[in-house]
Amino acid sequence: MASTPPEPPPKAFKKVLSRFPSGVTVVTTRNQGEPHGLTVSAFSAVSAEPPRVLVCLGRDTDSLPMVRESGCFAVHILGREHARLAARFAKMLPGVDDLFEGLAVREEVTSAPILSACLGWLDCTVESSYEVGDHTVLIGAVRALGPGEADGEPLLYFNRAFRSLASDPLDV
């Protein structure tokens, strides 16, 4: 019987993954009347029929219990002009106590706050969740969606920094 090879150390794993660019989103929810949110790069479409998405939230985030209790979340796809918003919801801006202060916010189908400042948004109910390592994978059933007030290039996260597209699309 073959032995299981050892897993690489987390630091090496993170270093390699930092070479993979990902889009940047803000995930919001509302629990007991209070809005909550965080910046998330682990987001993906899962299915078009029916429309399903996934987000991965670290188990130590303060928003995960709020999403579990509320049963809903909204995903906001950020544009390159939203780097400060991404930093805000990543709690990287000193002196920002209320993440939602001064932001245009509304509700659609669920109680999750919908931010106007984004390229697009999806309002979801939690369909299922899976514990995987130090994260929880949430599958969201999309209940409403739409374009945001912004238009343009996406915000990317690459090599541990916010970035934007640097060139025109390539012909292939």
Residue type, 4: T
Question: pLDDT per residue over 13-45, tens digit each?
Answer: 999 999 999 999 999 999 999 999 999 999 999
d(CA 53, CA 145): 12
Return the percentage of the chain with pLDDT > 90, whole number.
85
| pLDDT class of 3 with cuts at 50, 70, 90 | confident
Q: Over the stretch 145-154, which tens digit does the pLDDT of each residue have?
A: 999 998 989 9
Beta-strand pair 72-77/52-58: unpaired
Query: Do residues 116 and 88 touch, judged by C-beta distance below 8 A?
Result: no
Closest CA to 121 of 129, 133, 110: 110
Reading the block at residue 136, the tokens are: 């929880």
Domain range enclosing 73: 23-41+63-123+145-162
In a domain, 156, yes or no: yes
Q: Does residue 109 fall inside a structural domain?
A: yes
Tell whether 79 is covered by a domain: yes
Q: Per-residue pLDDT for 167 more than 70?
A: no
Q: Is residue 56 part of a domain?
A: no
Q: Where are the beta strands (DSSP E) in the chain?
A: 22-23, 25-31, 34-40, 43-47, 52-58, 72-77, 105-106, 114-115, 120-132, 135-147, 155-158, 161-164
State residue 137's pLDDT score.
98
pLDDT band at 166 (very low <50, low <70, confident <90, very high): confident
Percent of the chain with pLDDT over 70: 97
State residue 2's pLDDT score.
Answer: 78
Tell me the whole-structure pTM to 2 decimals: 0.93
pLDDT at position 161 over 70: yes
- Sequence-distant (6+) residues with CB within 8 A of 37 are 26, 27, 28, 29, 63, 89, 99, 100, 113
105 in a domain, yes or no?
yes
Spatial CA neighbour of 57 closest among 32, 37, 71, 84: 37
67-102 pLDDT per residue, tens? 999 999 999 999 999 999 999 999 999 999 999 999
Residue 30 lies in a domain: yes
Q: Could you tell me if residue 12 is inside a domain?
A: no
What's the total number of domains in the chain? Answer: 1
| Alpha carbon distance 74, 40 (integer Å) | 11
Instruction: Answer whether residue 128 shows pLDDT above 80.
Output: yes
Q: What's the CA gap between 166 and 80, in Å, rounded?
A: 11
Three-state secondary structure call for residue 127: strand
- Supply the CATH number for residue 114's domain: 2.30.110.10
Residue 110 lies inside a defined structural domain of this protein: yes
- Measured over the CA atoms of residue 19, residue 20, residue 21 and residue 23, the dihedral's sign is negative
pLDDT(58) > 80: yes
Count Cβ atoms below 10 Å from residue 6 Cβ, excluding itself: 6
